[in-house]
Structure 1
């Protein structure tokens, strides 16, 4: 007879855990096809620009936590030789196959994002080429229906991520790289 209350307690505990998880999961927004573009071009030289349209981003509206992951080999250049050099000589994408960001939106309205486009600040850790760097970015945020849009740009330095530019091409590649992000996160 004592086994019945224990089984009932266990079942209720598991069920309540599932309900809590399900409630929390309702505040998550996901984009599996986000876009990240980086540009390191210098005037009068060949364009150094790549685009990745398969970036995954997750945003938790309850905690304001945000994370993204980009596979390095997903960045596409106009010039295939430039892409090969990027993957083999600059970021060593076989050893470090992904770039990640984990952070938080820090100045959102207490009621969350709205249909009005607003400035939001994101702070967190960017990891690339096996190195981590704290960073802050100012983005534009908007929530329309079940979709949150986050767009904007920020600057990174290759040297912060142990990316060495050979002397022969150093004057053809910018010392400050502009990174643009565009996420359309859908409620899950």
Structure 2
């Protein structure tokens, strides 16, 4: 009788530990919507939550919009009030999967991967494909991903008065160091 109870408990514990996720709350997202010859439009958020399930390659990320900081306070104010409407749409969420991911194959050398997922931003949702470089150093996994999105795809308004100063195509980079 005890064996029939103990065996399933041991198997269940293996399942729980194999689904263990690793995370950080200090990932960095940087975006740039600059147009040459004008003031750089560059925002950085260093308090981004990033979660990885090493067994499946599934990832999720959450960034608070008001966490983005700019060189000029006025630019930050316009970003939050006029463009991102961060009181109405306070966060950006990405959920996806790293294609052909196997944490056992990670080394100290960066390997290229493809991430496919869905980005929720400004009340809209879009599928995203992003390239990523991933490495493991000891118990740390580092993921660096670059991709671009169009502000217009997410209904982010750029007034015609300053359209020549902002690029609709926004370059995004995320750096996550998971332990």
TM-score when scaled to structure 1? 0.86
Q: Secondary structure at the match of 1:77?
A: coil
Q: CA deviation at 1:152?
A: 2.7
1:101 alignment partner in structure 2: 94
TM-score when scaled to structure 2? 0.90
Tell which structure's C-alpha radius of gyration is larger. 1
Deviations 1:21-66 (A, max 9, x none): 641354x221110000000011111111000000010000111100
Q: CA RMSD in A?
A: 2.3
Residues 2-151 of structure 1 aligned to structure 2 (within 5 Å): 19-20=13-14, 22-26=16-20, 28-109=21-102, 111-151=104-144
Cα distance in 2 for residues equivalent to 1:98 and 1:76: 14
Deviations 1:49-86 (A, max 9, x none): 00000001000011110000000000001111111111
Cα distance in 2 for residues equivalent to 1:164 and 1:36: 21
1:159 alignment partner in structure 2: 152
Q: Which runs of 5+ in 2 are unaligned?
A: none
State yes or no: 1:181 paired with 2:174: yes
How many matched pairs? 178
